[in-house]
Chains A and B, each alone.
Chain A
Amino acid sequence: MTERRYDPTSGEWVTFATHRQNRTYKPKDDFCPLCPTKDESAPTEIPSEHFEIVTFDNRFPAYSIDAPVPDVADSSFYRVLPASGRCEVIVYSDDHSLTFADLPLSRLRMLVEVWIDRWKILGEEAEVSYVMPFENKGEVVGTTLSHPHGQIYGYPNVPPRAQRELEAAAQYLQDTGRCVECDVIAAELEGGDRVIYSNGSWLAWVPFWARFPYEVHVAPKLHRPSLVDLTMDERADFADILSVVAKSYDCLFGFSLPYIMAFHQRPTDSAQDWDPISHFHVEFAPPHRSSDKLKYLAGSELAGGAFITDVVPEMAAERIRKAGALIK
């Protein structure tokens, strides 16, 4: 059963996907469903002996193009809709032992083009309003498959956090005539103490308001509403900066750091002109607050929506910069 139910007390949609209770959970060590199929009697998800990058429809999708009619009746008060959309898995390599940080620059450059292609393809679906590539890395954020991979969700509506960002950006544009993300980037370049890396066209920094101790944002210095708007040089620089951030994280505490990485960009529907208020950026949210302690989202964060962060952003940035200096 999948369906979306509307919460009139918060104005947000909640998706139900009960079949996901049966999704793959910690498969046996000797069988990875994301590895190439070497033996046809034991096929994985990918029917090829070798591959570079592969995307496929999730076996247990929260959203699908042929979403079933909801189980419960729709009403004017309790609104319910099919869970329409698209959920894809994107596998970065056929080498099971790698992580995102281990990928060579040439593969990351290719990955940028694949993300762009998927954004176009999923965004063209009538049921999809917002395309969000993301990666959950590490068991502490719920990942049970260590093979290097991410996911791409084509949501039927703009997800709440992205929606709030767009609304704040629209208000800022109305008040000042400028893009808020462009002004953030200008402020970080001027101050510098929260910057962890910069190349020709991109900036990586710990946000002034970081909600996670070692949160990092990555954005193009010029206003680009979505991945597809990047120039060829910017695409190459994007691959470079993602590599540096991921490698720096792995040098921070001396182990492969878990994180959630998510892309925020222009919605793919035509509800309004998104370009002036959408500035493409990537958010990394690692759950560690030290090498052996996690930040749990608890009462204040989950019940109140009020984040309390344990590390000052300027200190976090200094530590990540020092870690970056250790990259081999």
Chain B
Amino acid sequence: MTKNPTNATDAFDYGDEVVVRVHTSDGTSILLRHVDAMADARRITFYRQVKVEIA
């Protein structure tokens, strides 16, 4: 079963790559992608959006 990190730190530890940083009216987030292989070696890519906390 594929992991599903819910925050940026875990995602980076997991090997996610940053696709783009998105600024919206309710804050800033980054879009992450994680490329994996399916059981039959087909390529699968998970995209996740994670809020960026501004210190």
Binding site for B on A (CB under 8 A): 37, 40, 43, 45-57, 59, 106, 109-110, 113-114, 116-117, 232, 236
Q: Is the CB of B19 within 8 A of A117?
A: yes
How would you classify the secondary structure of chain B's contact residues: helix, strand, loop or mixed?
Answer: strand
Contact A236 B43 (CB under 8 A): no
14 residue pairs of the A-B complex, CB under 8 angstroms, read A47-B1, A47-B2, A48-B2, A48-B3, A48-B4, A48-B46, A50-B4, A51-B46, A53-B46, A57-B38, A113-B31, A114-B47, A117-B47, A232-B23
Instruction: List B contacts of A56 (CB < 8 A).
Output: 38, 42-45
Chain A CB within 8 A of B39 CB: yes
Interface residues of B in 1-55 (CB under 8 A from A): 1-4, 19-20, 22-24, 31, 33, 36, 38-39, 42-49
Quick one: given A47-B1, A113-B22, A236-B24, are A52 and B38 in contact (CB under 8 Å)?
no
The answer to whether A57 and B42 have CB atoms under 8 Å apart is: yes
Taking A47-B39, A110-B49, A113-B22 as given, write out 14 further A-B residue pairs in contact, using a Cβ cutoff of 8 Å, ordered by the A residue number. Answer: A40-B1, A48-B1, A49-B1, A50-B4, A52-B47, A54-B46, A56-B42, A57-B42, A57-B43, A59-B42, A110-B31, A113-B31, A117-B20, A117-B47
Chain A residues near B38 (CB, 8 Å)?
Answer: 45, 47, 56-57
Q: How far apart sit A117 and B48, CA to CA, in the bound complex (Å)?
A: 13
Please measure, in the bound complex, the distance between the C-alpha atom of A106 and the C-alpha atom of B47, giving whole angstroms.
Answer: 14
Contacts of A116 in B (CB 8 A): 20
Q: A37 contacts which chain B residues (CB < 8 A)?
A: 1
Interchain CB contact under 8 A, B24 and A110: no
Residue from A46, A47, A106, A109 having most chain B Cβ neighbours under 10 A: A47
Q: With a CB–CB cut-off of 8 A, which chain B residues contact A53?
A: 46-47
CA distance A50 to B3 in the complex (A): 9
A194–B38 alpha-carbon span in the complex (Å): 46
Q: Which residues of B contact A110 (CB under 8 A)?
A: 22, 31, 47, 49
In the complex, chain A residues whose CB is within 8 Å of the CB of B24: 106, 109, 236
Give min CB distance, B45 to chain A, whole Å: 5
